[in-house]
Structure 1
Amino acid sequence: MRINADTGLCVGSGQCVLTEPAVFDQDGDGIVVLLTDHPSDETEAQVRDAITLCPSRALSILQE
């Protein structure tokens, strides 16, 4: 699994960070920052939840 973050769509709600802070962070403007684009198996469920919770649909999964 690989995560894609479209920073142009991000509205800075922070739901991703609240859901999985080991994978997502925010810059000074509140825009999503990926700490890794290949999450571990242990965080996969939370990453999927974060993607679902994103109000602007800025996050997606790319299958490799």
Structure 2
Amino acid sequence: MSIDSGLCIGSGQCALTAPAVFGSDDDGFGLVRPGSEDGRGDPLLNEAVRACPVQAINFAED
């Protein structure tokens, strides 16, 4: 899982929806929190992916 920094507009929806997986950098853009790179343990992960207004989160379910 990753966030495409070229697409991210810093809306913060990912961090609001799944704060255990996502946060924001010093400039306010989304980031995947260290240690939660796969995020599969968070039940809100799929909702966070859907909440991104520019689909900047790259995540493929197995």
TM-based fold match above 0.5: yes
5+ residue gaps, structure 2? none
Q: Measure the CA separation in 1 of the matches of 2:18 and 2:61.
A: 20
- Shift in Å at residue 27 of structure 1? 0.7
Post-superposition CA distance 1:19-44 (Å, at most 9, x none):
01100000111111101211143x1x
Q: Which of the pair is proportionally richer in strand?
A: 1
Structure 1 gap ranges (5+): none
Instruction: Note the aligned Cα RMSD (angstroms).
Output: 1.5
Greater fraction helix = 1
| Cα deviations by residue, 1:9-64 (Å, 9 ceiling, x for unpaired) | 000000000001100000111111101211143x1x31110110101110121356
Q: Percent identity?
A: 37
Q: In structure 1, which of residues 56, 60, 63 is the aligned counterpart of residue 58 of structure 2? A: 60
Q: Which residue, 45, 48, 53 being the options, matches 2:46?
A: 48
